[in-house]
Structure 1
Amino acid sequence: MTIDELLAEIESKSPPASENDIAAFEAEIGHPLPDDYRRFLAGCNGGFLGGRFWYHEGDAGIHHIGGFRDESYFSLRWTRDCYGDRIPKELIWIMDDPFGNAICLGLEGDARGKIYFWDHEEEPDPEEWDGSVATADNVSLLTNSFTEFVAGLAPGEDDD
């Protein structure tokens, strides 16, 4: 699947994010977003897939897609505040699956540009965890880029 094909499938889209929206968010998080993800935001400012598409390698379905919207479940800002220190410091939430797990984007270091799956049922003990991707047993690498992640999406199997 291409980014354009994914954009065509997203429901409840709002108008694309502006360059000012993206730049303001980058200033807030203290990191530039990878170019492929910036292009995605410029085409879709959040939306809904309802688990209709899954990433083939990691069984990660896409439910909500983040953007700069007011609704909490579509908001990159709200989810950043909500998850806080529960998600490794090198990552941000960009999507979730139908079960409340997160699809995250790496922002810095070796994680930069990579896509990760964050399992909310396997969170480390905050007293024993240093906040990094390397020591988070509930985080697994899906792909080395957002483009690769999208290319690996396919329609989910019909449950009937």
Structure 2
Amino acid sequence: MYRWSQLFTLLLAAIVGCSDKPDVTTHDAPQSSPKTAVISMQSIEDAPVLTDDGLKTFEQKHSVQLPKNYRDFLLSSNGAFPSPNCVTFEEDERITASDVFCFFAIGDERPGLSLDWHYDTFKDRIPKSTVPIGRDSSGNLWLLSLRSDDAGSIFFWDHGSYDTFDETDLSNWPKVAPSFHEFQQSLIAYDATLETDGVPSRYSLVKQATEGIAKRDPGFSTRANPGFVWHCDCDDEGKVSMQFVKYEVHAVTTHTCGYTRLRAINGLIKEGHTRLPE
């Protein structure tokens, strides 16, 4: 386990650029490689076993009916760390990428891994008729739609956007897959050739930050520390720094993160009012 006194004080600064190729590999920061059809799921240690009755209780409590392919996944593997874990999708009229840090578990009491905790914490911010099924390493959510017109589809939801649009409107967020099964099958190993437009993907920034710590502590990985998350800061010149902070505090605070500012500085989106902390 990483020494938190050192971790809190560590600030990894990276001038964002596609030519930076770290030379340290960790299991949750894979090196560039081609797409693979083999998806493995590492069980979440100490996650509770989910029964059909337990799943029905969750559905009844929240008045939802989950799609069969997602229900089957939860019953066979109540949450998981996928490998590979990279998702590519369109945002700002460009292809970008982030990761699936984990698929959430029902009944888990750890905030960073719990579907229940995310559902209750974000219910007033995420679009109606959606369920948060997982997160990336920066605390952004993967949402499962239960709306009649796109039921079962998966969307990307950025927790740190500007306060210039309605974040509860699902049409404002990128649709990344038409079903949970296809979302799983779309996971690929990260490909560095994606980084061609001058603005690094979220995946790239987390990868560089993770490998930066791993150079000092070869045993470090974000997966081994699910109670922490990568927070992105960006200064007025577009210089990015990544901080490894407590997940629960980071997630519950409404704010505009540095990645949104980075996109604005580079002209991908218009700069706007900051979402104020709650």
TM-score normalised by the chain length of structure 2: 0.49
Q: Deviations over 1:94-141 (max 9, x none)?
A: 10001111011011222310000001122546xx7383313xx3x210
**Bigger radius of gyration:** 2
Q: Hey, what does 2:177 align to over in structure 1?
A: 143
- Whether contact under 8 Å (1:90, 1:109) holds in the other structure is no
Name which of 55, 59, 62 aligns with 2:87: 55
For 1:123 and 1:52, the matched residues in 2 are separated by 30
> Structure 2: any 5+ residue segments left out of the alignment?
1-36, 90-95, 192-206, 212-278
Query: 2 CA distance for matches of 1:149 and 1:131?
Result: 22
**Cα deviation digits, residues 2-52 of structure 1 (max 9, x gap):** 6xx433x34536354210111111112212100110011011112345x85
Contact 1:16/1:41 (8 A) holds in 2: no
The equivalent residue for 1:119 is: 158
Q: Note if contact 1:14-1:47 (Cα within 8 Å) is conserved in structure 2.
A: no
Pairwise CA RMSD: 2.5
Q: Deviations over 1:72-93 (max 9, x none)?
A: 1111111011112111012111
Indicate which of 157, 170, 180 corresponds to 1:133.
170
Q: Which residue of 2 aligns with 1:70?
A: 109
Letter in 1 for 2:161: E
Contact 1:47 1:74 in 2 (8 A): no
1:92 to 131, 139, 162: 131
Letter in 1 for 2:99: G
Letter in 2 for 1:45: N
Q: Percentage identity across aligned positions?
A: 26
Shift in CA distance, 73/15, structure 1 to aligned 2, threshold 3 Å: same
Mapping for residues 5-16 of structure 1, pairs under 5 Å = 5-7=39-41, 9-12=42-45, 14=47, 16=49
Q: Distance in 2 between matches of 1:117 and 1:6?
A: 22
Alignment partners' CA distance in 2, 1:14 and 1:56: 28
Closer/same/farther in 2, CA of residues 61 and 13 from structure 1, 3 Å limit: farther
Is contact 2:81-2:102 (8 Å) kept? yes
List runs of 5+ in structure 1 lacking aligned partners: none
Aligned to 2:76: 43
1:115 is aligned with what amino acid? Answer: I
So what's the TM-score if we normalise by structure 1? 0.80
For residue 27 of structure 1, the aligned residue among 51, 56, 60 is: 60
